[in-house]
Structure formats: structure tokens, C-alpha cells
Structure 1
Amino acid sequence: MMRSRTALAVLTLGLTLSACKPPAADDYIARTRITDRAAAPSEPIGSPDVEGAIWAPGRHANRVLYGIPGQQPLMALECLTDEARPMFAITRFALADQHAQGILALIGNGRVERLFVDAAPARDVFLWHGEVPAADPRLDVFIGAREVEATIPGAGSVVLHPSNLPRTLIEQCRGLQQTAPVPPADPA
């Protein structure tokens, strides 16, 4: 008798709890009301053709550009010296969705590196942009005599032909770190 009362109590409790929450079902989403639709990300782009692409000095001595002469650049490397420590900026000239974040994968010269990039405003569009300290060893991927493949998911891959310009810029930027004046110690 005691067993049947316990079983009856468990069965009643189970039925009561199951009435509170509906079971999982394929049409469960139809039972809820969606009022805010998220914007879909942009369609991925293909990898650009880099035949004839070269590294060239930018308008400023602290910037180099990569691309086909006479066309929009594909990438830019820049030494930023406005900070307490020099920073190195990488820009991929591919459209990015506002507020997008990603990872720039760099493979070449015996290295595999990843840098965080964000959608950065550039006039009336957003481009992929990331910054790291000039002393960051991940930048060594650009120092060497081999090609580097730079990939951002959705923005294609750019094969960067070897050149001395990126290495020279990185070394100059790192040299600024060493010659920057050291602030005096806090007397407190």
C-alpha cells in the first residue's frame, strides 16, 4: 500500500511539473514572439587577385601600402607614435559591418599569428583595423623573404608578396620604443 501511494505521489508530481513547462518541440519558436530581428552579416567576399601587387611607401614616412599600382590598396601597415609607446596598425581595405570584430590570421615566414581586428570607421564605410604594440613579436611574421597570407573570415585572403618595406617599418617603429624618453619615477 505504501509503495502505491509513493508511486501515485511521484506520478502526480511529474504530471504537475510537466504541465508547467511544455516539452521541447520543433515548433517551439513559433510559440514565442520575436519583435527585434537581428541584421544579417554582409555576404563574404572572395580573395582579391594580387598579381602585380607590391608594397609601396605611403604619403607619410611611417606607413606602407600593399596593392596593385593605380588601384585601391589591399592592406596598410603603419607606425603610430602618438602614444606613450609606439603602436603598429594594420588595416585591411575590405568592407566590414559596423561593430564587427574578427581575427586576422597571418601565415608565412615560418609563423602562424593571429591579431584581433575591429570594424573601424573610414569616411562613410567601415574597414578592418587592428593595433598592437610595436614590440609585439607577432609582427615578425612580416619580417622575412617569403609570402604572407592574411585572412579575415568573410573578407577573403590577401597574399602579401615579400618586400623589405614592412620589415624596415617595423624595425623603425620598434626603435622608437627604445629611444623614447623614460618618465621619472614617482617620488611617492
Structure 2
Amino acid sequence: MAALLLAACQQQPAAREETQTQRIALADARAVHADAIPSPDTKAARWRVRGDGQGIDFGDAGQAPLMTLDCAIGDGEPTMHIIRHAAALPGQSALFPVIGNGMRSRFLADARLADEGDAGEWRWEATLPASDPQLDVFAGNRPLTATLPGRGMLEIRASRIPGEFLDWCRKSGQVARPRQSEDDGPTG
């Protein structure tokens, strides 16, 4: 028995030599992250219909948009893209709450690389079927707040444009024809 204990003790120092501690600086162990930015001033910002009619941008005239609602109409169900134009890093995800019109919606936004036309911008994007009831936060004409953690809050003044755009997208881009008279039923 003593021989077994002696043999075990002789092997223990060899095991200690194999496991070595490695020291690293605390700064090197931290994950890379983007710095928080303050909320942008949106007093003069407005919704604008994009030239192609497939989206609306919120921001100051003549400046890059702060937020975009984009509608993709294809063979299947229309898709709505909510884009928050703020710095993002690859692989990031966040909940993007939008509050207004009597609703609180939380959209899962991921960092996505924009198309080439946007100069390789990494931005936040949430994609949903246009029929998703969470999008009803844009229906109506009350003010909205849209907060992206670390990227500030957008205070969006009341406008009918987001609701009309959502309705247009849900109808796959079909525009209802106006009634000819009060007696006519709904058309389109």
C-alpha cells in the first residue's frame, strides 16, 4: 500500500508542470463593443416617401435617415423591414422597442450589412411579415418613440405616413380606388 501512495506522490509534480497559468491584461479580455451615442435631435425630422415608393425614411431633410420602414413585395406575403440607421457591429442583436398609438412593440433587431449603395453601413434591422400585429404600432397618427439600447431614442412626431405605408404594404402595393359616390361600396 505504501508503494502505491509513494508512486502517486511521485506523479503529482509532473501533472502540475503540465498545467500552467497564463496571465492576460483585463483590457484584452473585454469584448469589443460600440460606444453609446446620445439621442439625436429630431425636432425638425419628418417622414419622407423614398423615390422608389418602396419605403419611407424618417430624418432631417437633406440628411441621411435615422430610421426607415421598407416594404418588400414579391410572390409571397409582403415583408416589412424596420431599419435603424445607427452604428452596429457584426453579430450584435438587440430588442428595439417602439411605443405609440396605444401599443408597445419590441422588435428583435440584428446588425446587418447594408447594400452597396449605402457604402457598407452596418445597421440595425428587424424583418417581419407585413401582417405581423406588432407592426400596428405604426398604424395611427400619434407620436412614436423608438429606442435602441446604446443608440438613443428617436422621438417621432405624429404623422399619418407610417400608417398609410403599412396599409399599402399589407395590400401588396395595391391602391384602393376611390368611391365614385357615397352609395358605392368599398372597391379595390
Q: TM-score, normalised by structure 2?
A: 0.73
- Distance in 1 (CA, whole Å) between partners of 2:165 and 2:65 is 17
What is residue 67 of structure 2 aligned with on the other side?
75
Name which of 125, 129, 143 aligns with 1:129: 125
Q: Percent identity?
A: 35
Instruction: Give the deviation of 1:161 after TM superposition.
Output: 1.5
3-state secondary structure, aligned to 1:139? helix
1:101–1:147: structure 2 CA closer, same or farther, 3 Å change rule? Answer: same
- In structure 2, list runs of 5 or more residues that go unmatched: 1-20, 175-188
Aligned partner of 1:174 among 170, 175, 178: 170
Match of 2:184 in 1: none
Match of 1:151 among 147, 158, 174: 147
1:119 aligned partner: 111
Deviation at 1:53, TM superposition (A): 0.7
Q: Please show how residues 30-109 of structure 1 align to structure 2 within 5 Å.
A: 31=21, 33=23, 37-82=29-74, 84-109=76-101
Counterpart pick for 1:164 among 133, 148, 160: 160
Q: CA deviation at 1:176?
A: 2.0
Distance 2:108 2:63 in 1: 26
The answer to whether structure 1 residue 139 and structure 2 residue 135 are counterparts is yes
Q: How many residues align?
A: 150
Deviations 1:113-134 (A, max 9, x none): 1001111112323011111100
Specify every segment of 5 or more residues in structure 1 that has no aligned partner in the other structure, as ranges: 1-30, 179-188
CA contact (8 A) 2:73 2:173 kept: no
User: Does the CA contact (< 8 Å) of 2:58 and 2:66 recur in 1?
Assistant: yes
Q: Is the 8 A contact 1:104 1:152 kept in 2?
A: yes
Flag the 1:140–1:57 CA change in 2: closer, same or farther, 3 A.
Answer: same
Q: Distance in 2 between matches of 1:128 and 1:47?
A: 15
SS of equivalent to 2:84: strand
